[in-house]
Structure formats: C-alpha cells, structure tokens
Amino acid sequence: MKLLDRLPWAWVALIAAWLAVAPVFPEPHLIEKLRMLMAGTLVKALDIFDLVLHAAPLVVLIAKSTRWLARRRAESVR
C-alpha cells in the first residue's frame, strides 16, 4: 500500500488515460476487449493479456483514489 501512496497522481492519471484510449483509431483496445468479453468471444490468450494490459492502470488509479478518499475521511473523523 505504501507503494500505491508513493505513485505520483499525474503519472498514474496520464498512463491510465493513455492506455485506456490507445490506439484511438479505429477503436480503443480496452473498448474492443470489453465488447469481446461481453459477447463471450474473449478466448485468445493475447486478447486476454491485451485487456489486462489496458485495464491495469485504470485499476491502479481507482485503488489509489479509493485509498486516498478513505484516508481523508479517517483524518476528518479524528
């Protein structure tokens, strides 16, 4: 958790945004892979790896945000 706290907000946000929309044309991989997941066609190992690769920074950003909000609430209660 300390590693998550030490990650700079700007870098986490930038990398998450970049990988969420890369490549922009014709369709971002994250959107494509999520559609494949919903359709049940996400079966190739490369496609699963691609989904994990493009979604991981968003998961880190959500975890960092959640931890920051929880710590902020805990401090305001004291």
Q: Read off the pTM.
A: 0.84
Residues with Cβ < 8 Å from 55, sequence gap 6 or more?
30
Give the dihedral sign, CA 65/51/53/27.
negative
Q: Which has the closest alpha carbon to 17: 25, 9, 6?
A: 9
Q: Give me the tens of pLDDT residue by residue for the chain, a chain 78 residues long.
A: 889 999 999 999 999 999 999 888 889 989 999 999 999 999 999 999 999 999 999 999 999 999 999 999 999 887
What is the Cα gyration radius of the chain?
A: 16
Q: Which two tokens stand for residue 51?
A: 């989904």
Residue 55 is predicted with a pLDDT of 95
